Structure 1
Amino acid sequence: MTRKTILSAVGLVIASFAVLTALNYATAKRLYHSLTLFNESVIVENFSNMSDIFETVEIEKTAPEHKFGQAYQPLPKTYLYKGEKRDTENFLEKTSTTALVVIRNNDIMFENYYRGTTESDRRISWSTAKSFLSAIFGVAVAEGHIASLQDPVTQYVPELKGSGYDGVSIKNVLQMSSGVRFDEDYGRFNSDINRFGRTMALGGSFDDFAASLEKEREQGEYLHYVSIDTHVLGMVLRNATGREIADYFNEKLWSQIGAEDSALYIVDSYNEPMVLGGLNLRTRDYARFGKLFLDNGQWNGKQIIPAKWVTESTTPDAPHLKPGKRDSSDINLGYGYQWWIPENADQEFMAIGIYDQYIYVNQKAGVVIVKNSANINFMDNGFESATETVEVFRSIVATL
């Protein structure tokens, strides 16, 4: 072997080592950020900069920006909760609010950003993204790509045969009633949702993760929140339409509602979007989506989401889905097609994400409220902050 050949071989080894080191560094960095993502000292910054931590796909803003009017007024100083008068500003502080936008009809009534964040931050949706996925799913149903919600998901995604989703109807997956075994405890290291998070950090397939889940109970009888149900809906949508989700999302929704900035979707190693919680948007763009549902799926006179789908999505249609205390669930809120319905709802529904992300829609009052947060105590007392947040929103509506 010549000296030149030896040097070339050494150079190749060094180059290969450098590439592997870089790849391992990127993986190690993602893992580190995943494990520290919710640390109190960095959570606010992380929630506004998820594209610096995870791989994302960008859905560019293409249509002219829809402009809101301005009719600012202050928030109510107090609200009632459990018969006790409480301070609104204190509530916003204790729930680590980072943004609050209130819209009535087409006017911004209140807008403020907190904890060093600004209006241009693209904030992580967490599970409010589920309601976005549901919206474009309804378009696919109307277009005839999906014949019936009673069809089993395996009719469209045969890769799920033999899994906990085998034979489960699309409707039961939409309504978080799949019967699949899943531990959504964010505070337990080895819970299913945290295992999913490590898949995102270390690399892997969301599809494979969904196929690994098993059945726990009969479908259609119990409201059990399974975030991966939404990913399965994404698999159905992808196969039924023959389209990439990001492209379909852009055509059917994002390019239609006058967004002011591009959207970012966190993706897995195969570039599949994290439809269960990986959207990153400006707060006013969350409000635009809320306004779309406020107006029964219409935007500037054009029907973007079928009105029938909006109604069905926000109407619990079985006893185990209705809000209030019930034997079949430990959740007091009601559920539709990836939307939550509060107790004693009067034309109200919500998209909710962990750490207190909200898109609250009150059709009777013509109001949308978006709250972004980084509340590390969101699970305390059986998610009591969700119940209290509804009362804060209702007090805001009452003053408009």
Structure 2
Amino acid sequence: MTKKPTRQFFANVAGILSIGLMPTLVHAKVTLEPLVAQVGPESDVSVAIQNARWHMNDGDINVLTFRSMDTLFTTRKVARSGNPFALPREDRTLDFSYRFEGKTYTPDEFLDRTYTNAMLVMKDGKIVYENYLNNSKPDTHFMGWSMTKSLTSLLVGCALEEGRIRSLDDDITDYLPELKKGAYQGVSIRQVLQMRSGVDYEESYEFDSPGIAARNHIQALVKNVVRFADVARDIKRAHAPGEVFQYKTIDTAVLGLLLERVSGGSNLASYMASRLWEPLGAEFDGFFIMDGEPGIGREFSGAGFNAAMRDYARVGLMMLNQGKLNGKQIIPADWIKESTKPAGPEEGPIDYGYQWWTVSKTPAYSAIGLQGQFIFVDPSTNTVIVKLSYFPPNDKDEAAMRESFSFFEAASKWQPE
């Protein structure tokens, strides 16, 4: 039986407090991170949640936050429907090695060297390897970050096929007239897909002296006081449309706004559910985190989608099958082909198509998300790899990213026996 505290116990505690041996919390108060407080208006979001969002990318907690976004944000469900499409499997040991910076490593070493939460490898349409680490499991929902851009591109392909978008060469402000005052006027939908809009939005997150992207991150996502695409209304121009490739999340936010506008009174989550997630035979519901104030915010189409690993693998397998899966042509085959080829000259190790990264001088391509999220597809070897990671932020020489692609290349060439 547990004994009740005695009067003497309470007297002892009071004595300790009176002589300062136990800290007092009488004057304690949760305070907002100063860099957040100095940007934009006050927020109705609790200070504790704002602070948690501010730190969600930090290297000591992202192993958890990247799979807990529904505890940090208002979300909107992307519903699955019916029986899941069964992914065939034929488990194999990853009995190959890979080279990185002059040294040879095993796949087991790769997992921790590149901060892996979960990884899945498919060969010829079958799962040959699936592994969940750090207490994750098959129903864990992982933040896709900018892999979301690639999914948004698939939905643009659907809207074009359905005639909701007349032509990729249309001025995007024909559909979004509220953007005519800014630099998006005269920019084609194709140029936005290719990240060649020319608008002045440097994807830089130096929060000590925040520019437009850093301020937008704080106001739209951390504080929820504006919508992410709002800055597109009066944004300035840096380059002529189509002239320069410059990666920027605002372009994909505008594509999300376009999809919402042409979807016939729906929203992005509902359109994605009916055009992609349901026909794909997804095993689990997905969800978007929402930008802006509750009730008027919208799906963060530039980086806010969350899903289970096998469902990301279903997307990859559909891409490998030229848009077909579960007995259905889900995405037009022509769109798969067009969106996964480089839009400009192949100058780097990876280049860019319609919101998909292409591996230069190969048929391989990948959806890539912040701090190590990948859906890698190599049609030449019928390989799909999903890797969900927690890379440390500000990896200046991108070692984990480069090592991941070294592994992908080796895994793609590997032929299990």
Q: TM-score range by the shorter chain?
A: 0.7 to 0.9
Residue identity matched to 1:39: D
Match of 1:370 in 2: 386
Q: Equivalent residue for 1:48?
A: 67
What is the aligned counterpart of 2:245 among 194, 208, 223?
Answer: 223
TM-score scaled by structure 2? 0.83
Aligned partner of residue 197 in structure 1, secondary structure: helix
Q: Does 1:256 align with 2:279?
A: yes
Structure 2 counterpart of 1:303, which letter?
Q
Query: 1:69: how far off?
Result: 1.8
Equivalent of residue 124 in structure 2, options 88, 96, 105: 105
User: What is the total number of aligned residue pairs between the two structures?
Assistant: 367
Matched residues in 2 for 1:252 and 1:37: separation?
31
Letter of the 2:332 partner, please give it: P
- Contact 1:77-1:89 at 8 Å conserved across structures: no
- Which residue, 238, 246, 264 being the options, matches 2:269? 246
Q: Aligned in 2, Cα 1:41/1:351: closer, same or farther, shift over 3 Å?
A: same
- Superposition pairs of residues 22-171 of structure 1, within 5 angstroms: 26-171=45-190
Find 1:348's aligned residue among 364, 372, 396. Answer: 364
Q: 1:380 aligns with which of 396, 399, 416?
A: 396
Q: Is 2:321 the partner of 1:295? A: yes
Residue 4 of structure 2: aligned partner: none
- Deviation string, structure 1 residues 146-203 (Cα, Å, up to 9, x no partner): 1111111111001111212121111010001111122223454514333222122212
Q: What SS is found at the alignment partner of 1:126?
A: coil
1:334-384, Cα deviation, whole Å (9 max, x unpaired): 111100011231x21100011010000111211110000010156421x34
Amino acid at match of 1:358: F
Structure 2 unaligned regions, length at least 5: 1-41
CA contact (8 A) 1:163 1:212 kept: yes
CA 378–356 in structure 1, closer or farther in 2 if over 3 Å, else same:
farther
1:338 maps to 2:359: no
Report how far residue 55 of structure 1 moved: 0.6
Q: Is the partner of 2:45 in helix, strand or coil?
A: helix
CA distance in 1, matches of 2:82, 2:235: 40
* Aligned position for 2:332: 306
The range that moved more, 248-257 or 370-379, is 370-379
Is the aligned partner of 1:181 residue 2:192?
A: no
How far apart are the structure 1 equivalents of 2:192 and 2:395? 24
Q: Structure 1 residues 379 and 279 mapped into 2: Cα distance closer, same or farther (>3 Å)?
A: same
Moved more, 370-379 or 245-254: 370-379
- Paired residues of 1:355 and 1:373 also in contact (CA < 8 A): yes
TM-score (norm 1): 0.87
User: How large is the Cα RMSD of the aligned pairs?
Assistant: 1.9
User: What stretches of structure 1 of length at least 5 have no aligned partner?
Assistant: 1-22, 326-331
Do 1:160 and 1:166's aligned partners in 2 also have CA atoms closer than 8 Å? yes
The structure with the greater share of residues assigned to helix is 1
- Residue equivalent to 1:211: 233
Query: Within 2, Cα distance between the matches of 1:274 and 1:230?
Result: 9
Inter-partner Cα distance in structure 2 for 1:373 and 1:212 = 36
Taking every aligned residue pair, what percent have the same amino acid on both sides?
32
C-alpha separation in 1, matches of 2:321 and 2:267 = 27
